[in-house]
Amino acid sequence: MNASKIIGICSLFVGLIVIFFQFSQNSKLKKDLKNLEVKFKASGANGMGLSSEFQVGLSGKESSVREGADKTGTGKKIPIAIGSVKEILADPDPLNRVQRLMSYVNGLSPKEMPEALIALQESAPQWDPHMKMAVGLLLTRWATADTDAAFAHVEQMKNKDQARDATFSILRALSSQDPQKALEWMSGQGNDMAKNGWMGHALAGTIASEWVRQDPDAALAWANSLPKNQRQGALGGALETIAASDPLEAAQRLLELDPGEAREKAAGNIANLWAKRAPQEAMEWAMTLEGDDRESAMTRALGGWASVEPEQAASFINDIPAEERTGSQVSEVGRRWASQEPSKAAQWLIDQPESRGRTDAVGYAMWHWTNEDPGGAADWILEQPRGDFRDNGIASIAKATFEEDPSSAVTWAATIDNDKQREGSIERGVREWAKREPELAREWVQQNSNALSPEQATRLLEIQSENGQDQKR
């Protein structure tokens, strides 16, 4: 065989190898792209292009915390996780922003979650709703994949507020999947937290509110067996979860529990939720209860009713004999109404029996009214008879006025008749004023010494002198 034929055969053989290799690579590429497309659609992000943050999250070869190009102009490289999150949160379309955040978090592996969590928390204010949503989703996924690692990471977090919120997110996810493991965590790793009063209350409520969705009998039995503070949180969480969808079932289950403060508070929570949807039914149920359960349920039901129909709730109270109305009932309706229509709420409160609840509620009404119509609020309160009702209204006008006009605020405070309340209101106002404008505050004290006791005037002048010296330094 001559040389030219040998060369031709070799060239053909090499060509076939190249074609086969390309075909294999193309098939693999198509397969990879198909898998990526399936994952992408599963994330709920249909219709969007593959953004860099999503590609990185899906890749098993690249970490979402690789260092990227310098985007700061300082020569420092930004971790891709942080850069990606910032870019997503800067998206001007809120709906697209939410979808992209969900895609980003859903694409993370457990190993990538610690850095991604930091990126989310450092890329937006703590109150940002989209950041909070993404953090909650990330922690839920992390707790599902590796609960121990998620809790261990939270224990090392320096920001205690963020650590606390993260703990609740992880515990909620764990409780929804394995309540018994959540109980073990609370009695072991979370025991120190549970000993804290309000924290124990909240942790128990978190577990119960998830457990009750799966096994109401077991969750309520556990809640009813807890120490006092934790029992209130657990019963409240469990029964409120039931009441949100079926208040009648929650009401029936309430009566299966041991009497006491925890059941009393739970009765109030059920009634409050129920009254926002069906106030007459809630009130009828509350009135079938006895003792402290009845009072708690009626008061909270009136509050829930007043949040949606304040005038109707007020009319209901008006039909109760005056000697049977309680200050807490009047306060609940008055305060809820005041946040919507303060002048009408204040006028209604005039005709209610004297009580601490009535006095507290008028203060709430005057604060809201002053923010809406300071002149109208001032004219109305000065027409009221002297006494605690009027004094509390004036004290609230002073609080509402202080930010814009501290001089007027302390002048209002000086017209309070009750000696103890007047001195306390003036003292708080002047102290705050002196931090901003010590000379003006000092001048007011000197010019209004007749409204102060000699001891208070001396004390306030000394405070202002100290504040003035601090400002000069």
Reading the block at residue 74, the tokens are 């300082």
Portion of the chain with pLDDT greater than 90, in percent: 62
Reading the block at residue 275, the tokens are 């009254």
Reading the block at residue 154, the tokens are 């939270």
pLDDT at res. 229:
82
User: In degrees rounded to 5, what are phi and psi of residue 79?
Assistant: -55, 140
Size (the chain), residues: 473
Which residues are 67's β-sheet partners? 79
Calculate the CA dihedral of residues 149, 155, 161, 165 and round it to 10 degrees.
30
* C-alpha atoms less than 13 angstroms from C-alpha of 116 in its C-beta half-sphere: 30
Short-list 295, 288, 296, 246, CA closest to 269 = 296
pLDDT at res. 449:
81
pLDDT digits (tens, 9 = 90+) for 133-187: 999 999 999 999 999 999 999 999 988 889 999 999 999 999 999 999 999 999 8
On whether the CB atoms of residues 55 and 66 are closer than 8 A, the answer is no
* C-alpha atoms less than 13 angstroms from C-alpha of 384 in its C-beta half-sphere: 24
On whether the CB atoms of residues 222 and 183 are closer than 8 A, the answer is yes
This prediction has a pTM of 0.71
Mean pLDDT is lowest, of 61-65, 128-132, 360-364, for 61-65
pLDDT at res. 89:
87
Type of residue at 434: A
Type of residue at 260: G
How confident is residue 465, by pLDDT bands cut at 50, 70 and 90?
A: low
Say how many C-beta atoms besides its own lie within 10 A of residue 419's C-beta. 9
Name the residue ranges covered by the structural domains of the chain.
405-473
On whether the CB atoms of residues 414 and 444 are closer than 8 A, the answer is no
* C-alpha atoms less than 13 angstroms from C-alpha of 125 in its C-beta half-sphere: 3
pLDDT digits (tens, 9 = 90+) for 223-268: 999 988 899 999 999 999 999 999 999 999 999 888 999 999 999 9
- Burial of residue 448 (CB within 10 Å: 0-12, 13-18, 19+) is middle
Alpha carbon distance 333, 425 (integer Å): 26
pLDDT at res. 37:
44
- Span 325-332, average pLDDT: 95
pLDDT digits (tens, 9 = 90+) for 395-410: 999 999 998 899 999 9
- Span 110-131, average pLDDT: 89
